[in-house]
Amino acid sequence: MGENGNGTENDTLQSILTENKILKGKLRGFKTLDKMFKDVKERNVVLEDEISQLKEKKIVKIPPPEYKEEDYGTFEYIPKANELKEVVPHGTEYKLPTPKMSMLENMSIANELRSIFEHRDVAFEDPTKLGEELKKLADSISVIEEKRRRDQEVLKVLTKELKKCRSENEIFRRENENFQKQFLPNQAGAAEKEKYVFVETDPLGNTSDEWKNMYFTTKKKSDQDLTDLRKHLEAKCRQNSQLEAQLANEKKQHNSEIAELIKELSTKLEHGKAEEEDDMISQQMQIFQDDFKVEHEERMKAQAAKLEMEKKFDALQKEFQEKTNTIANNERKLKYYMEKCDILTKEKMLIKNELDLAQQNLKRASEFISNLSVPQKKTSEAEKHMKRLERISALTPNTTNDNDDTMSDISNWKCPSCTLENKPWAYNCAICKGRKPDSLQFPSNMDFDIEVDGPPSFNGFDSAVDTK
């Protein structure tokens, strides 16, 4: 039981310490919120000073200067589009030069002023005075509206923070109530609760009195922190409600200031005739409208030219793509035809070689056919040849010996390249087409024919005929 009691006490103290850390972190957040409230308060003070200065400021009558025909200083003149020196390049968006006067930016105030211009019938003594007053009034109104807008944004942020603080305050209040119900003993059963909550010793060696003192000091400190935090939150809520009321009053004051300024301007305009001012202001408004129309037309022309250039660019890009595809196709065709031309050239060379071979075979065949004749004639020619040889041998009987190779010239000859024996009338080898040696050629002054028993086999001719 003692160990379980110590464990519960440790858990209780640990939970109290963590809650204190959470409360300290939230307290730091409330301090930052307090700084934000102070900043808003300072800005409100500055805004009140500016409003008071604006109230104290009155439009003082300025003595009219010498009137000049060209002195139109009421509005700032904006040059026309054709007078601008800057050249707008194609493909960029043309931005219109906006007037620098904030009166033209605020359409609601401009409409109110325009309605006042329509009902005026009194002219000012000075033509430039009205423009200056209008410019001052427009600037002051724009400044007030900008400040009011910023105050409204700040008010929205502060309202959100106030709601958040109220919700957190409610959560803290409920947690405090639960804490008090759970851990604080009632007056009647305090002694009985001490028996179950606190023990005499703990695992760390601390006595129960020390634990009690630590518990009650921590509880007292946390209660004090909660009380301070509650007071701080209540003060913040009151301050926030005061700020809300103050901002609402300032908003009403701003609206009343704007109404007074517009009313003052209307009363000033009602006191005098403004025929010349009407003409001048209408001329200025007409100039503004003409410039706006011209600039709008220039911008539309620039956009149309941009679209046209984009269309031309797309067409040129498409044409370039088509030509690129055509060039690629032509290159593929050229490569194919070049390969085909190379193949045809090789085939042509092969055909030429075959044709040369066929011509050579045909020439040999024609020579062979021309050498052939009737057997009776060839026999007679052979007899004549033999008789000639006999006469030659008869004329030179002593010169012949065993080493005489005179008759060997008309025997078969052996090819020096492939060692094939060829017929004596063949001038080229039948296999390698090698030429017959000059030493075995017949003399040119000898006119005789050789008798043949039959047509010799001409391998080259036969092969040529077979290939045909």
Which of the four pLDDT bands, split at 50, 70 and 90, describes residue 86?
A: very low
Supply 175's token pair: 């947690």
Q: Look at residue 100 and give its three-state secondary structure.
A: coil
Q: Domain of 302?
A: 2-62+69-309
For residues 234 and 285, membership in a common domain is answered with yes
The predicted pLDDT at position 278 comes to 63
For residues 220 and 275, membership in a common domain is answered with yes
Query: Counting every residue, how long is the chain?
Result: 468
The predicted pLDDT at position 153 comes to 82
For residues 172 and 26, membership in a common domain is answered with yes
Which of the four pLDDT bands, split at 50, 70 and 90, describes residue 133?
A: low
Give me the mean pLDDT over the 401-416 stretch.
57
For residues 351 and 430, membership in a common domain is answered with yes
The predicted pLDDT at position 211 comes to 63
Domain count, the chain: 2
The Cα-based distances of 279 to 174, 237, 321, 359, 371 in angstroms read 73, 58, 62, 114, 132
Of 51, 33, 60, 452, nearest in space to 253 by CA: 51
* HSE-up of residue 450 (Cα within 13 Å, Cβ side): 17
For residues 33 and 139, membership in a common domain is answered with yes
Q: How does pLDDT run across 213-255, given as a tens digit for each residue?
A: 666 777 777 778 778 877 877 787 788 778 878 888 887 887 7
For residue 403, being part of any structural domain is answered with no
Whether residue 303 is predicted with pLDDT greater than 50 in this model: the reply is: yes
Percent of the chain with pLDDT over 90: 0
Whether residue 94 is predicted with pLDDT greater than 50 in this model: the reply is: no
Whether residue 67 is predicted with pLDDT greater than 50 in this model: the reply is: no
Tell me how far apart the alpha carbons of residues 404 and 192 are, in angstroms, rounded to a whole number: 164
The last residue of a domain, from among 251, 282, 309: 309
For residues 340 and 301, membership in a common domain is answered with no
For residues 288 and 331, membership in a common domain is answered with no
Of 309 and 468, more confident: 309
**Residue-averaged pLDDT of the chain:** 66
For residue 95, being part of any structural domain is answered with yes
For residue 405, being part of any structural domain is answered with no
For residues 305 and 352, membership in a common domain is answered with no
Q: How does pLDDT run across 23-55, given as a tens digit for each residue?
A: 767 667 667 766 776 777 777 777 777 777 766
* HSE-up of residue 394 (Cα within 13 Å, Cβ side): 6
The last residue of a domain, from among 266, 281, 309: 309
The predicted pLDDT at position 102 comes to 41
Of 388, 389, 377, nearest in space to 452 by CA: 377
Whether residue 163 is predicted with pLDDT greater than 70 in this model: the reply is: yes
The predicted pLDDT at position 149 comes to 80
* Strand ranges (E), 309-440: 413-414, 421-422
Which of the four pLDDT bands, split at 50, 70 and 90, describes residue 78?
A: very low
Which of the four pLDDT bands, split at 50, 70 and 90, describes residue 318?
A: confident
Whether residue 187 is predicted with pLDDT greater than 50 in this model: the reply is: no
For residues 280 and 429, membership in a common domain is answered with no
- Residue with the two structure tokens 């009987």: 397
